[in-house]
A and B are shown apart, each in its own frame.
Chain A
């Protein structure tokens, strides 16, 4: 690797806390039942604290209604057998309440809520097992290496390339040492970008690689329909998120689970964007529900120990790919939802069955393509930088006591509205950090430049007409392309110098090498070539949607001003 490499070797990193008996995640699940009870009771408390009895009655009615529809229209294999009976009994009890058949109304409402919350808490809670973790820790690298070598053998022509290491495949950059130091003192929450279903595997692997003890993470309940997958995920720290359940009581239970896990010090992983980026752009907005539980957990931690509270630290993490296997489906969904009537769906599947994780994995490892995982600046929940001791710093490098953000007249004051504004501010800080921690790959800038040049050739066309351009009208002359690519790279280098983006070391190669590398990596697994060179040496694309998708990765950095 060249001298200018931003990547770090993580091969020799040990676990920061070798003794698993000190891991909060281990301790919680040693007494899983107690944990479930604690979550349930705190969730019930929250519900009754935040809502009037009339509101709760309303929530119960709407929960019943929504659950009934869910059971009918969208059953899962993993759903409990007695779903129907349970909700029927809720209905009967509700009816009694409505007609005034109950002596102590408040009490009865409380027991109904209790029954529902306990049921939800039980479902949500995972079941971390150290033995399964150890097993996976030993097996996964072996499996990955096997996949890597056997899958790649077919494609690699060079004779000597028999031994591939994962480190050739996945690069690491960013504040790894700081994160490791913080992980022994604070609760770390990794909040990665989300482009592909492959993210789960890569980020899980990356966290293990830099020596952080296992994290808890939310996994869609639908994944638990597969019993084997469900078994392993659950025992590796997953908790279950059911996207079908949208009633307030469920959401409160889920949030309570998240908050208490953080309070107890479990390192944590969740995607603040909620779902995969459809457009291929870096996230521009977060879903604030889970992020809010980080703020609430910090407040609770301050309450528990006003002078020596445990910090909650966010680590914005960016996963960078040369290609995203689901790109075609994602961008079509994006265009369809944004463009409405303007977009005509071209009904043609890209990769068959690309949705299964195993399939994605195979395809990912079977190509030469690399990825980079970039751990951004760790910050407290107010967006302040933290040092290795876990202390928060202001811009003048003064150590600050963040519990003061929760104080009025020196007292810690509960204030949901305030915390929700803090959550929004935190999300703004994380989004900024995503941009700084982005790693530009050769393929990103090549796709970006080609698309922008095509767009500049047709200034009057809107996006949807641009994407439908006939192939003859989207050819960029070689000289024009090279000149603009060089300008764009020059600009990116200046951005990298100010620290507002990261560059893959290959971008320091000659323009020729950059182009060659990009063309052999950009969206390599799609049926159509995202960018290719014509016989005359000019540049064009076989699929404008995909070109647009890959171009979007560098959207919003101001590069367009350097392309003319």
Chain B
């Protein structure tokens, strides 16, 4: 088996689904170990990838085969790695469910939640969300398909740096050793380290909630604040992430790992991320809608702020930073005022999430 799949000309047995910047970077990473399909529903971009050898500015490996034939890809691939925005997830898994077999493995890289059942309206700030209505993506996969071998990857994985060949690491989480091993085999290379975890929900929530803080970090940068402010945001933001994440079923330890602190630090430090950009322009006084109109890919953070806020209200969890970002995003709270409010908090215990 091993000898077969290692030959360059062999048909791929693994597929990345979704050819956004992250999906493209992951496909290139896998190609260092074996040939891989890169599925895009957009025939033009498939065409473009195959003719130019580039996608989102990334040079494509010759072992990446771009295609828009979803059924063929799923038929041929034992391991599927969907790298798609959270808002499309449920519909997407419904769509591919009829092609899936029990022996498929799905490792997803979506950094967001699914609330498709709750019919959440973005204007509705009274939104009451229960854990039952907010699903992590692994739960969606479980609900919509027959696949049981499910995993997730998350970590400080800025696509551009991965594409540049810089060293980086990720976490693969699954309840199944077999899935973890498969993910490691596919992704691990000399420039890409892979750590393992059994805490699927922890890794998923860590990867999603950090986007809130990325917006916050962008705001601080937009205000020309420096490293002290950012460090405060990161450490106190982590505190909020852990409080909500553990309520959703994650293990507190997970948030201290590569997918937690690691990803948080990277996302809050990088000026490349979409969520950071939103924060930056908000601080510069640009209306949210204008910023969103200018973006080509989805910024998960906006939706995540809304969901986190609703959950925090519902569970009665204090999330001061998140709530100020929420107010800035949706209720025109001036950013300076939000920060002033945060600085007025009293009697805060530094670390209360670990005994």
For A382, the chain B residues whose CB sits under 8 A away are 102, 146, 148
Indicate if the CB atoms of B146 and A395 lie closer than 8 Å: yes
| Stretch of A367-375, A399-407, A509-517 that contacts chain B | A399-407
State which residues 365-418 of A face B: CB under 8 Å.
382, 384, 394-396, 398, 400-402, 404-405, 407-409, 415, 417-418
For A404, the chain B residues whose CB sits under 8 A away are 101-103
Q: Flag whether B32 is at the interface (Cβ < 8 A).
A: no
For A401, the chain B residues whose CB sits under 8 A away are 102
Given contacts A395-B97, A404-B101, A409-B78, A384 and B177 within 8 Å (CB-CB): no
A402 CA / B103 CA spacing, docked (Å):
9
Indicate if the CB atoms of A394 and B146 lie closer than 8 Å: yes
B172 to chain A, nearest CB (A): 15
The 7 A-B residue pairs with the shortest CB-CB distance, nearest first, are: A404-B102, A404-B103, A394-B146, A405-B102, A421-B175, A417-B177, A407-B103
A428 to chain B, nearest CB (A): 10
Indicate if the CB atoms of A396 and B102 lie closer than 8 Å: no
Task: Name 20 interchain pairs, CB-CB below 8 A, sorted by A.
Answer: A382-B102, A382-B146, A382-B148, A394-B97, A394-B146, A395-B145, A396-B97, A400-B101, A400-B146, A401-B102, A402-B102, A407-B103, A408-B78, A408-B178, A417-B176, A417-B177, A418-B177, A418-B178, A421-B148, A421-B176
Q: Flag whether B144 is at the interface (Cβ < 8 A).
A: yes
Q: Flag whether B1 is at the interface (Cβ < 8 A).
A: yes
State which residues 94-118 of B face A: CB under 8 Å.
97-98, 101-103
State which residues 414-443 of A face B: CB under 8 Å.
415, 417-418, 421-422, 424-425
A396 CA / B145 CA spacing, docked (Å):
9
Interface flags, A489-525, vs B, CB<8A=1, else 0: 0000000000000000000000000000000000000
B273 to chain A, nearest CB (A): 34
B218 to chain A, nearest CB (A): 39
For B144, the chain A residues whose CB sits under 8 A away are 395
For B175, the chain A residues whose CB sits under 8 A away are 421, 424
Q: Point out the residue from B98, B146, B149 that lies within 8 Å of A384, measured CB to CB.
A: B146
A178 to chain B, nearest CB (A): 20
Indicate if the CB atoms of B178 and A415 lie closer than 8 Å: yes
A421 CA / B176 CA spacing, docked (Å):
7
For A395, the chain B residues whose CB sits under 8 A away are 97, 144-146
Indicate if the CB atoms of B178 and A417 lie closer than 8 Å: yes
A382 CA / B146 CA spacing, docked (Å):
9
A384 CA / B146 CA spacing, docked (Å):
8
A394 CA / B99 CA spacing, docked (Å):
11
Interface size on A, residues (CB 8 A): 21
A384 CA / B145 CA spacing, docked (Å):
11
For B149, the chain A residues whose CB sits under 8 A away are 418
State which residues 220-273 of B face A: CB under 8 Å.
none
For A421, the chain B residues whose CB sits under 8 A away are 148, 175-176
Indicate if the CB atoms of A409 and B1 lie closer than 8 Å: yes
Q: Which residue of B lies closest to A398 (CB)?
A: B98
Tally the A-B contacts, defined by beta carbons under 8 Å.
Answer: 46
Interface size on B, residues (CB 8 A): 16
Q: Which residue of A lies closest to B98 (CB)?
A: A396
A161 to chain B, nearest CB (A): 47
For A407, the chain B residues whose CB sits under 8 A away are 103
State which residues 10-51 of A face B: CB under 8 Å.
none
A417 CA / B180 CA spacing, docked (Å):
12
A402 CA / B178 CA spacing, docked (Å):
17
A551 CA / B177 CA spacing, docked (Å):
41
Q: Point out the residue from B101, B146, B148 that lies within 8 Å of A422, measured CB to CB.
A: B148
A395 CA / B143 CA spacing, docked (Å):
9
Indicate if the CB atoms of B148 and A425 lie closer than 8 Å: yes
Q: Which residue of A lies closest to B105 (CB)?
A: A408
For A405, the chain B residues whose CB sits under 8 A away are 102-103, 148
Interface flags, B170-196, vs A, CB<8A=1, else 0: 000001111000000000000000000
For B101, the chain A residues whose CB sits under 8 A away are 400, 404
For B103, the chain A residues whose CB sits under 8 A away are 404-405, 407-408
Q: Point out the residue from B78, B98, B146, B176 that lies within 8 Å of A418, measured CB to CB.
A: B176
For A408, the chain B residues whose CB sits under 8 A away are 78, 103, 178
A418 CA / B105 CA spacing, docked (Å):
13
For A418, the chain B residues whose CB sits under 8 A away are 149, 176-178
Interface flags, B145-181, vs A, CB<8A=1, else 0: 1101100000000000000000000000001111000
State which residues 149-191 of A face B: CB under 8 Å.
none
A281 to chain B, nearest CB (A): 18
A422 CA / B148 CA spacing, docked (Å):
8
Q: Which of B97, B102, B103, B177 has the most CB of A within 10 A?
A: B102
A422 CA / B147 CA spacing, docked (Å):
12
For A402, the chain B residues whose CB sits under 8 A away are 102
For A409, the chain B residues whose CB sits under 8 A away are 1, 78
Q: Which residue of A lies closest to B78 (CB)?
A: A409
A294 to chain B, nearest CB (A): 16
List 9 other contacts, CB 8 Å, given A384-B146, A421-B148.
A382-B102, A394-B97, A395-B145, A404-B101, A404-B102, A408-B78, A408-B103, A418-B176, A418-B177
A498 to chain B, nearest CB (A): 13
A561 to chain B, nearest CB (A): 10
Q: Which of A395, A400, A407 has the most CB of B within 10 A?
A: A395
Q: Which residue of A lies closest to B175 (CB)?
A: A421
A468 to chain B, nearest CB (A): 26
A499 to chain B, nearest CB (A): 16
A417 CA / B175 CA spacing, docked (Å):
9
Q: Which residue of B lies closest to A410 (CB)?
A: B103
State which residues 75-105 of B face A: CB under 8 Å.
78, 97-98, 101-103
Q: Which of A384, A398, A402, A415 has the most CB of B within 10 A?
A: A398
A382 CA / B97 CA spacing, docked (Å):
16
A192 CA / B270 CA spacing, docked (Å):
55
For B1, the chain A residues whose CB sits under 8 A away are 409
B107 to chain A, nearest CB (A): 15
